[in-house]
């Protein structure tokens, strides 16, 4: 998208983006390496927390219990996690769950309620509002856009 924007202009890049990449909503610079930017740090305790969150993201988790297991107060856990990853533990967990939901929406025929449950959300309306806030579209709209890539004749 970055190259198309530079070569053909922003309006053309947005048309191409709409046809091929409904999940991309940020500029190239802010999107590049976004999946791994929070993984590069030296805090071993936070790496352990990240691994735990990745493995158990679909479960009903208590971040307070995780902090206790790591021997940290909740305040210290939040501070160290954000310092290492630029995200709070709650935001990190939400990103994991939303990434899982996006994959399910693209690749399965599960209902929105089932997607929400499998992604770790117990309330599908909370899932829908969170998804819309982060992605800018509803889960159903995202599914349609991700599956139906219709070419526009200009």
CA distance 92 to 47: 12
Does pTM top 0.75 for this prediction? no
Q: What is the pLDDT of residues 51-75, one digit of tens each?
A: 999 999 999 999 999 999 999 999 9
> Helix (H) and strand (E) counts for the chain?
10, 0
Q: What is the pLDDT of residues 12-46, one digit of tens each?
A: 877 777 666 554 454 444 443 344 444 678 889 99
DSSP 32: T
Task: List the domain boundaries for the chain.
Answer: 1-32, 33-147
Sign of the CA dihedral with 144 first, then 121, 113, and 97 last: positive
- What tokens does 77 get? 């856990």
Please state the CATH superfamily assignment of the domain spanning residues 33-147 in this structure.
Homeodomain-like (1.10.10.60)
- What tokens does 139 get? 């889960």
């Amino acid at each position: 998208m970055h190259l198309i924007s530079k070569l053909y202009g922003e309006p053309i890049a947005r048309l191409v983006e709409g046809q091929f990449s409904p999940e991309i909503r940020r500029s190239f610079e802010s999107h590049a390496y976004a999946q791994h930017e929070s993984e590069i740090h030296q805090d071993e305790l936070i790496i352990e927390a990240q691994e735990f969150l990745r493995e158990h993201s679909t479960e009903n988790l208590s971040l307070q219990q995780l902090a206790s297991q790591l021997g940290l107060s909740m305040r210290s856990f939040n501070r160290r996690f954000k310092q290492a990853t630029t995200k709070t533990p709650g935001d990190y967990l939400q990103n994991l769950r939303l990434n899982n939901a996006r994959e399910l929406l693209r690749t399965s025929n599960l209902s929105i309620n089932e997607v929400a449950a499998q992604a770790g959300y117990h309330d599908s309306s909370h899932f829908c509002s969170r998804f819309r806030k982060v992605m800018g579209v509803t889960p159903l709209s995202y599914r349609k856009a991700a599956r139906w890539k219709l070419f526009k004749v200009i």
